[in-house]
Amino acid sequence: MPTEYLHDVKCSAFLALNCEKRGTHTCSKCRLVRYCSKQCQEAHWSFHKKDCKHPYNRLDWKPAWIAENRSPAFVGGDTPQSHFGTHWAPEYLWGNTPAANCLQLDHNEGVLESVEKDFNLCFAASGDIRNLVMTVNGLPDNYRGHCKILLNDRSDIVTTRNILILYALLRHGHPLELAAETAVHFMYSAALRSSDSSELFHCIKTVYGDVLSVCQSPMFRSFITRLSPNDMRKKSFVIRGAGSLSIAHSAVKLFGEPLAMLRATHTLKDSRKAMHDVMLSPQRVDYRDRYLSGLQPSHRLSFLRFRESGVLLPFADVVLETFQHPNRLLFTASGKWATMDNANPLFSWDVNEVLKTGQAHGLDHADIYGCLFVHVKAQFTEFARRVEKFHIDIHVSQLDAHVASGLLQKGELNPALFGINPTFDRIETSNMADYAGIPSVLQDWSAVLNRKNKHAVVFVNFMNWVMKQRGASLTFDMTGEGMGLQKGLANMKVLLEKTSSMMGINFRTLLVNGDIQRAPAFYNVLENVDVFLDNHKQFQDHLNSEGISNTPKLYELQLRPRNRIYPKRFGVALGARPDALPSVTKTEFYNIYLIGGCNPGDRYLEFGLSGVH
């Protein structure tokens, strides 16, 4: 990581005591604050004490259901409420899988061989911008080709956020690093500094000024009724470098929630309350505590700071007095918090990498959300630098993926950029196959895959199959019945022990020591008991029921025997055998599944061109 990214690790007494020196040694009890000297540390103790001595920071902290001697809410009873928000929730404003570099040149075209190559990349149901960012950062450092990118999502909120975040990052104006910092707050922080807030309004004005003024005109109602559902509002913007940023958004939709959300006027106080009502909801305490009980004490504290402040920054840098403006990109038009209570930005990045970046910036592992801040900022900075230096065009569209594919095939989706016969070298389809099925995803996307590039691929993620396929999960089927009872139970015992040992727990001791139904460790083990489960056959059965043996052939595609873009399941190496099981250290286990929230059941498949090996 280039040194100019170095985060300025201030002495944590900077605010209370006006110290301007660098923080060089950490508080040994929490490792979340850093001081220039013993004197500063001692003088600051009266401020820091409350955090450092917080119950979360104690090894003997217990979830509320234990302290209150009751069963946790997620056991039995009513179906738990999994999200808050309005009728259009849940929206995936923050993704729930780690960011993916969809190029992975060293496993495909080769890095050196790609310096002059043109690439067309498609994110068909993109969610946020993280995969786009990671993929551009995966181009060769001295890239001289032309890269064209389609970033599509059917959600108008997701699209509006993406375009404003991208525009803030890429417009001429702020130095890269400042722009990156602002973009990180646009994406993840509930409140903004004055400078970020003015930047947001500047971006809103440039991107949506014309349509916002229509909203205020007396002719608005008749204007709206004249719009057809197919009317797209198209616009393109001048950005850093040789490339362009353009957008096509359904006009009817744009005039609904997105513009209302950007024009909202709720106060900071109201918005903080709306965020807390969801992110710290008392009804959801057991769900939070279940996650927290798997974490190290300082990580619980770091989590709490992020949830309470809503600001993504290193622990000691969160100074609420400077974050006084609600971030309109995270609240609905009616002022509600716009994402689910289990949304967590740590789930969208590779935590192993997050910690490395944090360390390179002088932050301790304990400050996990601080590490995340510097990591995302570094990725955004690098991305903007590349857009400035390389030739990259980005088109953001707000369409159902099926419609997007149809328009592409007819040469009607931004033909000025993609031409009338567009094809792509990488097509990332998120987990649409979960809902639409493999046949429909392949039918839509094989038609626009670049047949001239033997590395071209349609990339498919499965998140829901374990709930549909018998024997696919011990978390959802504790009896192991689906596997054949004998085999299931035998498996269960081995896996419970293996998973427990990864978490430093002795499962036998857990069994003998009292009320297992309440033991938080039991739930952490149970949630992750599928990590090492060999359910290759069950996955294959699921794929067969989805027509995997015939469908790819219909479209002159084949399922790659080994992945070359993203490991088939978390914890296995890229290119491993298709039935490979995760092989991780205890630290990796913690980073991937416990704090990183990766789903043990997620699977990634790659469909390449037939006849190519």
Residues near ligand SAM (CB under 6 A): 92, 95-97, 125, 127, 153-155, 158, 400-401, 430-432
Residue 202 in contact with Zn ion, rule: CB under 5 A: no
**Minimum CB separation from Zn ion for residue 527, in Å?**
30
* CA dist., res. 48 & res. 350, Å (int): 30
Nearer Cβ to ligand SAM (97/160): 97
Residue 562 in contact with Zn ion, rule: CB under 5 A: no
Interacting partner of 95 out of Zn ion, ligand SAM, none (Cβ under 5 to 8 A depending on kind): ligand SAM
Interacting partner of 401 out of Zn ion, ligand SAM, none (Cβ under 5 to 8 A depending on kind): ligand SAM
The closest of 537, 177, 542, 162 to 373, measured between CA atoms, is 177
591 C-beta neighbours (distance < 10 Å), count: 22
Interacting partner of 519 out of ligand SAM, Zn ion, none (Cβ under 5 to 8 A depending on kind): none
Say which DSSP state 424 is in.
B
Residue 366 in contact with Zn ion, rule: CB under 5 A: no
Q: How many Å is the maximal CA-CA distance in the chain?
A: 73
Interacting partner of 19 out of Zn ion, ligand SAM, none (Cβ under 5 to 8 A depending on kind): Zn ion
Nearer Cβ to ligand SAM (86/610): 86
Nearest 10 degrees: CA dihedral of 334, 336, 338, 339?
Answer: -160
Interacting partner of 96 out of ligand SAM, Zn ion, none (Cβ under 5 to 8 A depending on kind): ligand SAM
Contact between residue 585 and residue 515 where contact means Cβ atoms under 8 Å apart? no
The one-letter code for the residue type at 226 is R
Helix or strand holding residue 216 (H, E): helix 194-216
Binding segment toward Zn ion, per CB under 5 A, in 23-31, 280-288, 348-356, 370-378: 23-31
Residue 262 in contact with Zn ion, rule: CB under 5 A: no
**Minimum CB separation from ligand SAM for residue 123, in Å?**
9
Nearer Cβ to ligand SAM (154/288): 154
**Minimum CB separation from ligand SAM for residue 383, in Å?**
18
**Minimum CB separation from Zn ion for residue 57, in Å?**
8
**Minimum CB separation from ligand SAM for residue 324, in Å?**
30
* Terminal Cα distance for the chain, rounded: 34
Q: How many CA atoms lie within 13 A of 26 on its CB side?
A: 17
Interacting partner of 400 out of Zn ion, ligand SAM, none (Cβ under 5 to 8 A depending on kind): ligand SAM
Residue 19 in contact with Zn ion, rule: CB under 5 A: yes
Sign of CA dihedral 532, 96, 315, 363: positive
**Minimum CB separation from ligand SAM for residue 314, in Å?**
25
Binding segment toward Zn ion, per CB under 5 A, in 20-28, 171-179, 241-249, 514-522: 20-28
Nearer Cβ to Zn ion (29/391): 29
Nearer Cβ to ligand SAM (161/300): 161
Helix or strand holding residue 458 (H, E): strand 457-462
Core vs surface per residue 139-176: b (16+ CB within 10 A) or e: bbeebeebbbbbbbbbbbbbbbbbbbbbbbbbbeebeb
**Minimum CB separation from Zn ion for residue 293, in Å?**
21
Nearer Cβ to ligand SAM (89/111): 89
The closest of 449, 456, 486, 450 to 471, measured between CA atoms, is 486
Interacting partner of 92 out of Zn ion, ligand SAM, none (Cβ under 5 to 8 A depending on kind): ligand SAM
Residue 27 in contact with Zn ion, rule: CB under 5 A: yes
Interacting partner of 541 out of ligand SAM, Zn ion, none (Cβ under 5 to 8 A depending on kind): none
**Minimum CB separation from ligand SAM for residue 374, in Å?**
22
The one-letter code for the residue type at 272 is R
Nearer Cβ to Zn ion (15/227): 15
**Minimum CB separation from Zn ion for residue 21, in Å?**
5
Query: Which residues within the stretch 104-133 sit at the binding site for Zn ion (CB under 5 A)?
Result: none
Say which DSSP state 582 is in.
P
Nearer Cβ to ligand SAM (9/183): 183
Interacting partner of 40 out of Zn ion, ligand SAM, none (Cβ under 5 to 8 A depending on kind): Zn ion
Residue 13 in contact with Zn ion, rule: CB under 5 A: yes
How many residues line the site for Zn ion (CB under 5 A)? 10
The closest of 256, 234, 236 to 246, measured between CA atoms, is 236
302 C-beta neighbours (distance < 10 Å), count: 28
* CA dist., res. 360 & res. 350, Å (int): 16
- Looking at 15, 22, 29, 211, which residue binds Zn ion (CB under 5 A)? 29
**Minimum CB separation from ligand SAM for residue 253, in Å?**
12
The closest of 203, 196, 202 to 322, measured between CA atoms, is 196
- Looking at 5, 9, 36, 309, which residue binds Zn ion (CB under 5 A)? 36
- Looking at 9, 52, 150, 378, which residue binds Zn ion (CB under 5 A)? 52
**Main-chain phi, psi angles of 426, to 5 degrees:** -140, 135
**Minimum CB separation from Zn ion for residue 42, in Å?**
11
Contact between residue 67 and residue 58 where contact means Cβ atoms under 8 Å apart? no
Q: How far is CA 227 from the centre of its chain?
A: 34
**Minimum CB separation from Zn ion for residue 19, in Å?**
3
Residue 11 in contact with Zn ion, rule: CB under 5 A: yes
Beta partners for 26? Answer: 34
Long-range contacts of 41-45 (CB under 8 A, 24+ apart): 41/13, 43/13, 43/17, 44/12, 44/13, 44/16, 44/17
Contact between residue 600 and residue 570 where contact means Cβ atoms under 8 Å apart? yes
Nearest 10 degrees: CA dihedral of 544, 601, 81, 592?
Answer: -160
**Minimum CB separation from Zn ion for residue 56, in Å?**
12
Interacting partner of 153 out of Zn ion, ligand SAM, none (Cβ under 5 to 8 A depending on kind): ligand SAM
The closest of 99, 114, 144, 100 to 425, measured between CA atoms, is 114
Alpha carbon separation from 303 to 25, 288, 297 (Å, rounded): 22, 10, 10
What residues make contact with Zn ion under the rule CB under 5 A?
11, 13, 19, 21, 27, 29-30, 36, 40, 52
